[in-house]
Structure formats: C-alpha cells, structure tokens
Amino acid sequence: MTDVLTVQEIQEAFDRIRPHVLISPLLPCLWCGDAVWIKGENLQRTGAFKIRGAFNMLLAQTQRGKVLGVVAASSGNHGQAVAYAARRLGLPSVVIMPENANRVKVEATRRWGAHILFAPPDSQARLRMAEEVAQEKGFLLVPPYDHPLIMAGQGTTALEILQQLPDVEEVYVPLGGGGLAAGVSTALKALKPAVKVLGVEPEGAADHYLSRQNARRTPWPEVHTVADGLRASIPGELTFPILQRYLDDIILVSDEEILQTMGHLGFQSKLVVEPSGATALAGLRQRQKDGVRQVALLSGGNVEGELWQAWVDLSARSSLDH
C-alpha cells in the first residue's frame, strides 16, 4: 500500500514554503522543568502553524495550473492562513466560519481580505458549505487538515525541531483534525524513530481518543471545550490511519488545565497563546519526566484579550501566593 504522506513530501514542503514562513523559535520552558522546550508557532505571521499547510497547498497547486480563487472551512486559524496566503499570491478567498467563532479570529480573517460566510457550529457542516461554494465558483478548496499537501506543510515543524534539538526524546502535539500531528509524527518516525510522539486532546472533544480505543473513526457525541481550534467532531479520513500508526499515546486534558497552562505561558514565559495552543503543553505537564528532553508545540496565539488577561492575572496571583 502506498503511503498517503512521506517524509520526502514534507522535506519538499519545507523548501517550498521557506520564503513565506517563519522558522519558529524553540524556547526553554524554565518554569516547566530543566528539559522542557516549547515550539513557538504562535509567533507565525497569522498567529498559528496553519500558515505552513496553507502556503504549501496554494504554492503547489498554482505551480501545477491556474487557480481562480480559494475556499476554506475554518474555526479561525486555518481561515486566517488561507486568506493571508491567498492575498500574498493575489487570489480571492472565501472562508466558511462557525456562527460561534472567536470574534478575534473572525476579524483577523476579514482583515486579510477574505469574504466570510457563517455555518452552524459543526465542522462537517462547514466542510459541506465550503464544498458547495468551491463548486459554484470554480475555486480551489483548501481543506483544514485532511490532504497530503496540508499535512506535509504542517509536518515541517518537525524538521525544524530536529534541527533545533537533535536529541529530542518526546514531542507533544495538539489534536484537532489531526493534520499537524500526522505531519509531525510522519517526519519524526521516519527520521528519528525513537522519538515518542504524543497527541493531546481536550476532554470535551475526545474524538481521537475514542477512535483510537475503537480502532475506527468514531464521532464525539457532543463537542464542548474552550479550545476552539480543537473542536473537530471526528478524525480525518487520511489523518486517522497515520495517527493510529505513529502516535505513541493520546493524553486528555481538562479545560481548566488548558487555561492554567495558557495563563502560566502569559505570566511566566511572556507569550500570548490561545487555549488550543496551550493544550499540548498541558498534556506534557501531566507526563513530565526529569531529564527527558520534551517539546510541546504551541500551535497558536489568537485569543480574546479578556480571556487571556483573566488567566494571566490568575497565574500571577497563584505565583505570588507561593
């Protein structure tokens, strides 16, 4: 059986997107432990790792032929990435967002020039509307995670981690649709098989955990989590078998753990990270091991100011109490 995604495709994506994407820093998380690092994808131009997959797909497709415009379905970060990449390449964009989308992400997507349409707060409903718009306009549909070019683009983060910390032992990745984890795990298991790759998922959106237990794609009955970027209700058709093959484990974290970690990142690391972006580190904190070189991906930093400030203040008071 031919692999859906290969490390060669990830390496090609790395070269393709290099002029457009930041090599994000790998920073020591000193308040976490002496051997913990955080990968700052929240510092990307659009505030999240999604810019990698968006640029990889748009660049690859425009090289193959004319693209009239692009359509994406997104709760926010993917939409911003597609809108930004389209603008850089001179293409119109339409982004389908949930009716309850984070307003910070809606306005940011609009600022990059996207025409925004709203759908019910269900990932499958957004995808169906995006498919309809793409067919009607003759635009390229840029899926949020379930495509080899998207997964390959996201997987370039792993190549950077191996350059920045060659002796890394564990990498923690948030689980939404699974594109980031699929790309990262494919690259790491091909280039350094001994590295453990652990997916981290909110307790209120545990479709990957449930699907892993059932050994088949299983929808989560009622998605409810503060981590809006991780609210996919079922793993992707392409991402799921990759994650079944390569993930060493899946860790569940509560919303409180996610928000506490976000607050600590703000107060102690001086980093603005959204709940989805703090999820992997929340999982790492459950499994922290002295002397084991661990990396958590901070996948995004697009968060409403009031929520971020509240948890940073709480973190500050907690630190002072101790």
Do residue 220 and residue 272 come from a single domain? yes
Both 180 and 267 in a single domain?
yes
Q: What's the pLDDT score for residue 1?
A: 43
Neighbours of 118 (CB within 10 A): 15
Catalytic residue list: 50, 299
User: Do 162 and 205 belong together in one domain?
Assistant: yes
Q: What is the pLDDT of residue 61?
A: 96
Residue 1 lies in a domain: no
Q: Which residue has the tokens 């699907």?
A: 211
Same domain, 56 and 125: yes
The tens-digit pLDDT sequence of the chain (322 residues) is 458 899 999 999 999 999 999 999 999 999 999 999 999 999 999 999 999 999 999 999 999 988 999 999 987 899 999 999 999 999 999 999 988 887 888 888 999 999 999 998 777 788 899 999 999 999 999 999 999 999 999 999 999 999 999 999 999 999 999 999 999 999 999 999 999 999 999 999 999 999 999 999 999 998 899 998 898 889 999 999 999 999 999 999 999 999 999 999 999 999 999 999 999 999 999 999 999 999 999 999 998 888 889 988 988 887 655 4
HSE-up of 105 (CA within 13 Å, CB side)?
30
Same domain, 136 and 157: no
Indicate whether 58 and 29 sit together in one domain: no
Distance of CA 255 to the CA centre of its chain: 17
> Could you tell me if 238 and 197 lie in one domain?
yes
Spatial contact of 23 and 203, defined as CB atoms under 8 Å apart: no
Q: Which two tokens stand for residue 126?
A: 């957004």
Q: What is the pTM of this model?
A: 0.94
Whats the size of the chain, residue-wise? 322
* In a shared domain, residues 69 and 30: no
CA distance 297 to 27: 11
The Cα 115–Cα 71 span in angstroms is: 9
- The values of phi and psi at residue 291, to 5°, are 85, -10
Residue 190 shares a structural domain with residue 260: yes
Strand 115-119 vs strand 36-40: parallel, antiparallel, or unpaired? unpaired
- Count of beta carbons in the 10 Å neighbourhood of residue 135: 11
Under 8 Å CB-to-CB from 2, ≥6 apart: which residues? none
Q: Do 265 and 123 fall into the same domain?
A: no
Note whether residue 223 is domain-resident: yes
Structural domain boundaries, residue 80 = 51-141
CA triple 38-39-43, angle to 5 deg? 120
Distance CA 265, CA 273 (A): 7
What domain count does the chain have? Answer: 2
CA 100 to chain centre: 19
125 and 166 in a single domain? The answer is: no
- For 268-284, the pLDDT digits (tens) are 999 999 999 999 999 99
